Amino acid sequence: MLDFALYVATIAAVYALFALSLNLQAGVTGLLNFGHVAFFGVGAYSSGIVALHGGHWLLGVLVGVVVSSLLGAVIGRLGRTLAADYWAIVTLAVAECLRLVVVNEGDLTGGPQGISGIAGPFSSVSGLAGSLSWLVLCVVLAALAYLVAETLTGMQFGRVLRLLREEPMLAASLGHNITAEKTRVLAVAAPIAAVGGSVYTLYISYIGPNQLLPIETFLVFTMLIIGGIGNNRGAVFGALVIQLIYAGSRFLKDIFPIPDQSASSVRLLIVGLVLTAFLMTRPEGLFAEKLRRIDVHQ
Amino acid sequence: MKLQAKDLTAGYVAGVNILNGISFDLADQEIMTVIGPNGSGKSTFLKCLMGFVPARTGTVTVSGTDCTRDAAHRRVRRHRMAFVPQLDNVFGPLSIRDNVRAGGQYMPRRERERRADELLGRYPALGDRQNARADSLSGGERQLLAVCRALMPRPDVLLLDEPSAGLSPAKVTELFDTIVDIRARENVTVLCVEQNAVQSLAVSDRGIVLVQGQVALEGAAHELLLDPQVSELYLGGLPASTPEVQSVVKGVL
């Protein structure tokens, strides 16, 4: 049971990275990136491919960070000519293209079977010590990502991003280059998700194309909505809540007569119900977006 | 010429033009008012000049430099244009001073503070309460704040989208007096899209009447005020001979 709890906490920390990254884009800047899983996938497969070729795990993480940042910048530049809704569709298309490349380039990516047996930093540490080491690493990374996200959103850059979200025309009339700012936030946010993807792969020693399905992106959107879109703390708590729901739903079949093959569908159903409940009763999420407080002297 | 447009066409939907070949010249430090019925393309005209709506054909030049293909931020930074959108154009939760400073975010810090002091010192309605939240201001004061923010980087051309929208008559007069004052102090060229034709034309040098995306009439502001057609359509049906219009025209002349 302790092992299971450690596993849930570790995966929640990994998803916190994923959610913090999306929060910078969708929550703070208003960029509806429906292909966010692509950044996670770039990190995950960078680690997998480097490991497959005998490279050090750290090299895989670094490759993921660099490639995802470049991919983020390229996707951001597409916003120069595309309206927000078309851009959102293109991001989904990019992620699906990446997944199809992964499925079809078997020599490089392991194809539909994926890459297994990937060695991580604690692969030689077994038992409770190994699980605890992973948990500490993931929590430290999530904390660092949280600090980065808080710093970015609290500074001038963050205020400009919020202005882009709320009043893009006003932002441009104040001299802000909208495309450049969007490119910048994507180039910064993408590596956070890529680190999440790398750590996930190293932790479970496997990566396959099923981890790049669009449902992963929408699951992270659910985390943001439940936690509080636009709030970094909300992103972290949203990831934790969803992972707890996922973990808790495993025990449902012990109480209700749910067939094994339906368990994952029931899990998604519960997530959907929780999401609907939040949207109807608490649309701002667990932690509403923080606005800057100022002293008021009338 | 400070601001010039030639054969400007623009629109939102493919094959449908909102602007149909607009041409005009605006000399240095002139004030021009653009009037026209609803749906005539006034706001699109302003957005096209600012680069928010791309021109399909034609050119826009500022101080002789073509900026037709430049994005809005480049027109602000490189061509020294400024734009004040209609309504909801201040950051309510921020202080008045922060709002003004927001207009000069890419200026060196010291220069930005000095410029904010200068503008806030000039308008006591803002300067005396510079640490108060912007949403505590009245409609007219908000409009003044939005204009001050636009003036931060010392623009050459100021585009105003219906600055008097939602203001009481007394505040409208005050606002237009302020625009004249700004022109004198800042040496700025002003183009103003307005529904409030009488008062806007009264402080303008020239005027344009837009109808279906075309320049239907163009001329000196006082001539437009006396034009029977303009009077009938845009001055509330007041004949040019009525004391209201005559007093404004006398004031202009």
Q: A28 CA to chain B: closest CA distance, Å? A: 17
| Cβ contact, residue pair A294, B94, below 8 Å | yes
- As a whole number of Å, the end-to-end CA separation of chain A is 58
pTM higher than 0.95 for the full model?
no
Query: In this model, does residue A291 exceed pLDDT 80?
Result: no
| Cβ contact, residue pair A172, B76, below 8 Å | yes
Query: In this model, does residue A189 exceed pLDDT 50?
Result: yes
Segment B223-243, tens digit of pLDDT: 998 888 787 777 655 555 555
Average pLDDT (A180-196) is: 97
| Cβ contact, residue pair B105, A175, below 8 Å | yes
- As a whole number of Å, the end-to-end CA separation of chain B is 23
| Cβ contact, residue pair A179, B71, below 8 Å | yes
pLDDT by residue, tens only, chain B of 253 residues: 899 999 999 999 988 999 999 999 999 999 999 999 888 999 999 999 999 999 999 999 999 999 999 999 999 999 999 999 887 788 888 899 999 999 998 899 999 999 999 999 999 999 999 999 999 999 899 999 999 999 999 999 999 999 998 888 888 989 999 999 999 999 999 999 998 888 899 999 999 999 999 999 999 998 998 888 787 777 655 555 555 555 555 554 4
Segment A63-80, tens digit of pLDDT: 999 999 999 999 999 987
**With contact defined as beta carbons under 8 Å apart, do B151 and B122 qualify?**
no
Partners of A157 on chain B (C-beta within 8 Å) are none
Q: Is B89's Cβ below 8 Å from some Cβ in A? A: yes
pLDDT band at residue A192, thresholds of 50, 70 and 90?
Answer: very high
Query: In this model, does residue A173 exceed pLDDT 70?
Result: yes
| Cβ contact, residue pair A179, B102, below 8 Å | no
Among A167, A172, A175, select the one facing B106 at the smallest CB separation.
Answer: A175
| Cβ contact, residue pair B131, A296, below 8 Å | yes
State how far the Cα of A30 lies from the Cα of B14, in Å rounded to an integer. Answer: 27
ipTM metric = 0.84
Interface test with B, best of A155, A166, A170, A173 (most B CBs within 10 A): A173
